[in-house]
Structure 1
């Protein structure tokens, strides 16, 4: 048992399972059965990529604890889903039956850096991290007495690479390995400009898995990372792998991230705690929104932090550098900056993912920018048919991060969407109904907003929220369908501790009139909570209507007397 062959130290899943009655624990062990169903079959090579903090490592560690001989006799999975009756046969068949080669690329990189600095450790022919990786695995194989004897007897002992070493062992023992590689794409992220190193790494992997002969040493292979498998000339260099990524997530959506039901259970379990007052609605607002194969997925790391710390804030910014996002936005391919601002305000952008080469350097178009931002988790996407996807900002957490990023850019204040937001707010403050309707019409006709089906009040509500977002996001809280007076107001903007700013109370209509909207505000007395409450602020009443026949936006604005 070393750090690569059947490692046991620092297994995050084992630690989590041991304290599952005390900490947040979501049982996804039935994933083991889904993977085990493919052992020794043609489709036994898997690559599952997701953004950081989506449970990739803990899942890899779970597979290690289940398959590895080093864990034999440990009662790690007792009472978990994988031990249920429906998985009984499969569970017993594969439990701790394999030698697992577990490659944590972050650890390999750290070890290689130390190796490169210490000349006394240098080995002839080991000059790159890829050389070091292969050398390290073979050396650990040799720590097994039987494997060492077999390798020493090999005619090509001085020329062994990992693929041939594994073939020698399999030929004599008739046993196959399981390979798990965490952060498979590290070389493409950390050595992004070293194309020779990247080529040697993909050649190393191709040598392990190319064709039936290469795959014969493995009962199963499982890669995880952030980026999809690298493409060369629009083809994957590892085309035998079943790949599940954020652009094409496949059937494993519910196993990476938390689902609605899982988060509801977490919120329920913490609801009785005096230390946690986080509601399910807050968790949904902040961390839901990655729609993968029709399933709403939450960032699990953020949910756990929120309920543990009793605070919904952005935990995302501490997990990955924002420098990459800044670089991508500032490339400004085909107006990417405008698109990013529209996305933050709630818009949608269609992009084509067919030519993305799955790295962080070969970025040639706006489509590539959106592909990479989706893979990194800064955008969500929905299938829009064929190779087309619909990008959006998934939740408040990501919106907070992206907003902070763009506000630091030198071009921020001069962007048309920012000026438009200021223009709309100023028109409302001035009680200028005509100007307000004019600006809302501009927003409606902007490219990304026009993707909406503009056939209901919700579309009009979106236009106003998108328009006001940049002017109000720091100073206001925005409430939809807030109970007030004798009903629920469509939209209310309430200032955060600033008596000089007006409260905005907005009612929407579709194919009626602005007068109807204004009359409803008054008849239902939506303003009563602010007139009768402890609010010194002015209250501005806004009635809006969209006429689908004339395509006109109509507006009435009054200040409450």
Structure 2
């Protein structure tokens, strides 16, 4: 065993994962790889946002397939043990596992980085196959081919994690990227010693391999490929099972099943299956606390990085998405790797690849509350976002005025919103009006779960503010165009909308303090009017 060849590292790391209380068994993926082991020379690349389980799956594959003196029954209790070919493939192969995110202590150039990797690999091969003769200047590919010829056609499985890590380092130049692609191509393409390559990363390889260097790879991403989707992230059924464990393990459970859905659900596979952010779900259940776990590793400016290069083009769509709407966009699969993200399509494509937006049926949206909180932070701090920033800054005053029934201030803020003269305020449809309402009530999300009910054939959209603290009042907000705010308020009363608080939040009863708010917009006078009433 060596640092890369049949290393114990992947085994130890995967074993540690299986012992955690909220481990999810994804070993059925192994059965999908078995046919490739018979065919040989197969190359698979899985791209997903960070923290979506790529490394754990890579460790699982290396642990299961790699030769080990003592495997200690790690897989006997897992799903793969039910496969009739389980024994045939378990621990039968020489596996070369390289985590490309591991760097030497002092590394200031691509040459230092790649030389260390190649030297370690050659050292491992020499130790495992001591009889081979290595010549000065031999590459790792040369050594592997020598082993294939001299050791009865000995072949290898390659498991590469974080293949694109080096592209994010400041010292890497465009020429270095080309050299790195050539290194991978020379090591893997059309080599008789390759049984299978399983490679993970965030960025698609096709962007960097503009020619034929790595065209042997089959690439699988979340947006455009169905295959393997269920193995990265948690499905609804898996989160149901984890939540049952959580309730069993915690006498004082602070998290509801709905909390997990609101905060961490929202990603969608090509087949339409809902996917939860796995890191956030596990940490929330482990800590018995809902929080920003995935996004905590990067501040809001990580999102702003993509938007800042063309704020004018994305501003209106950003306002719509923050209001909970989906926005039509043509995803450019490889735009995330571009150094200059300038068009709206490129910007949103990159944000999909990195997990800041989800993509479904030709539209992008903010997937969940965890990400929405980061977008909220951004629009309240970045003045360059123009009217979006200005309206968000008014949101605290709007909420206070609403609860105080100060309709004059409410109307002033809405007039201010209208006078920003942005195209979205043409109010051509209910979506645009709802976007503005969301912006002027943005700060309400700190204290309320704000939900909308779509009434496509009955006018505009109403909002229900469910308080996080049961001592706070609930709010029902109804919008009307070319009708009086009294009519909006009458609809709230006549349709008994306060009953909607029952069932949604069990601790709120019909006698709980609930404020009805009617807001109207007159297309002729271009004026907003507001009325309030405690229900």
Give 1:66 shift.
0.5
Q: 2:262 aligns with which of 280, 285, 303?
A: 285
User: Hey, what does 1:32 align to over in structure 2?
Assistant: 30
Relative to 1, partners in 2 of residues 1:282 and 1:441: Cα closer, same or farther, differing over 3 Å?
Answer: farther
Partner Cα separation in structure 2 for residue 181 and residue 296 of structure 1: 27
Alignment of 1:382-397 (within 5 A): 382-384=360-362, 390-397=363-370
> Is the contact between residue 444 and residue 463 of structure 1 (CA under 8 Å) also seen in structure 2?
no
Relative to 1, partners in 2 of residues 1:395 and 1:357: Cα closer, same or farther, differing over 3 Å?
Answer: closer
User: Hey, what does 2:74 align to over in structure 1?
Assistant: 76
Q: 2:87 aligns with which of 80, 83, 92?
A: 92
User: TM-score normalized by structure 1?
Assistant: 0.78
> Is the contact between residue 342 and residue 448 of structure 1 (CA under 8 Å) also seen in structure 2?
no
> Is the contact between residue 338 and residue 417 of structure 1 (CA under 8 Å) also seen in structure 2?
no
Relative to 1, partners in 2 of residues 1:333 and 1:168: Cα closer, same or farther, differing over 3 Å?
Answer: farther
The Cα offsets for residues 326-376 of structure 1, whole Å up to 9 and x where unpaired, read as 332221265234433432332333333347355262434332222221121
User: Hey, what does 2:130 align to over in structure 1?
Assistant: 148
User: Hey, what does 1:353 align to over in structure 2?
Assistant: 331
Q: 2:183 aligns with which of 194, 197, 204?
A: 204
Task: Kindly report the root-mean-square deviation, in angstroms, between the aligned alpha carbons of the 2 structures.
Answer: 4.2
Residues matched between the structures, number = 510
Give 1:525 shift.
5.1
Give 1:141 shift.
0.8
Q: Secondary structure at 2:9's aligned position in 1? A: coil
1:105 equivalenced with 2:83 (yes/no) = no
Gaps of 5+ in 2: 454-460, 502-507
Partner Cα separation in structure 2 for residue 129 and residue 92 of structure 1: 38
> Is the contact between residue 323 and residue 435 of structure 2 (CA under 8 Å) also seen in structure 1?
no
Partner Cα separation in structure 1 for residue 305 and residue 100 of structure 2: 25
Give 1:43 shift.
7.0
> Is the contact between residue 443 and residue 467 of structure 1 (CA under 8 Å) also seen in structure 2?
no
Relative to 1, partners in 2 of residues 1:531 and 1:79: Cα closer, same or farther, differing over 3 Å?
Answer: closer
User: Hey, what does 1:217 align to over in structure 2?
Assistant: 193
Relative to 1, partners in 2 of residues 1:406 and 1:140: Cα closer, same or farther, differing over 3 Å?
Answer: farther
Q: Secondary structure at 1:52's aligned position in 2? A: coil
Partner Cα separation in structure 1 for residue 143 and residue 367 of structure 2: 46
Partner Cα separation in structure 2 for residue 285 and residue 240 of structure 1: 40
Q: Secondary structure at 1:106's aligned position in 2? A: coil
Q: Secondary structure at 1:221's aligned position in 2? A: strand
Give 1:438 shift.
12
1:371 equivalenced with 2:366 (yes/no) = no
> Is the contact between residue 407 and residue 532 of structure 2 (CA under 8 Å) also seen in structure 1?
no
Q: Secondary structure at 1:401's aligned position in 2? A: helix
> Is the contact between residue 511 and residue 546 of structure 1 (CA under 8 Å) also seen in structure 2?
yes
Partner Cα separation in structure 2 for residue 264 and residue 505 of structure 1: 31
Give 1:35 shift.
1.8
The Cα offsets for residues 63-109 of structure 1, whole Å up to 9 and x where unpaired, read as 0110000265431111211111xx212x22211011111001122x1
Partner Cα separation in structure 2 for residue 460 and residue 472 of structure 1: 19
The Cα offsets for residues 32-57 of structure 1, whole Å up to 9 and x where unpaired, read as 11122222436721111111111111
> Is the contact between residue 5 and residue 137 of structure 1 (CA under 8 Å) also seen in structure 2?
yes
Alignment of 1:31-50 (within 5 A): 31-41=29-39, 44-50=42-48
Relative to 1, partners in 2 of residues 1:56 and 1:208: Cα closer, same or farther, differing over 3 Å?
Answer: same
Partner Cα separation in structure 2 for residue 494 and residue 372 of structure 1: 34
Give 1:236 shift.
6.9
The Cα offsets for residues 370-411 of structure 1, whole Å up to 9 and x where unpaired, read as 222112111111242xxxxx2211000011123223433242
Q: Secondary structure at 1:311's aligned position in 2? A: coil
> Is the contact between residue 138 and residue 162 of structure 1 (CA under 8 Å) also seen in structure 2?
yes
Relative to 1, partners in 2 of residues 1:502 and 1:9: Cα closer, same or farther, differing over 3 Å?
Answer: closer
Give 1:511 shift.
12
Partner Cα separation in structure 2 for residue 546 and residue 38 of structure 1: 65
Relative to 1, partners in 2 of residues 1:556 and 1:409: Cα closer, same or farther, differing over 3 Å?
Answer: closer
> Is the contact between residue 158 and residue 194 of structure 2 (CA under 8 Å) also seen in structure 1?
yes
Give 1:304 shift.
0.7
The Cα offsets for residues 482-533 of structure 1, whole Å up to 9 and x where unpaired, read as xxxxxxx96333677899x986422479999977753343245556999996
1:399 equivalenced with 2:372 (yes/no) = yes
> Is the contact between residue 50 and residue 375 of structure 1 (CA under 8 Å) also seen in structure 2?
yes
Relative to 1, partners in 2 of residues 1:233 and 1:469: Cα closer, same or farther, differing over 3 Å?
Answer: farther
Relative to 1, partners in 2 of residues 1:521 and 1:249: Cα closer, same or farther, differing over 3 Å?
Answer: same
Q: 1:470 aligns with which of 429, 437, 442?
A: 442
The Cα offsets for residues 189-217 of structure 1, whole Å up to 9 and x where unpaired, read as 1247522221211110011222x3x2x21
Partner Cα separation in structure 2 for residue 496 and residue 69 of structure 1: 53
Partner Cα separation in structure 2 for residue 35 and residue 448 of structure 1: 54
User: TM-score normalized by structure 2?
Assistant: 0.81
Give 1:133 shift.
1.4
Q: Secondary structure at 1:178's aligned position in 2? A: strand
> Is the contact between residue 264 and residue 277 of structure 2 (CA under 8 Å) also seen in structure 1?
yes
Partner Cα separation in structure 2 for residue 275 and residue 449 of structure 1: 47
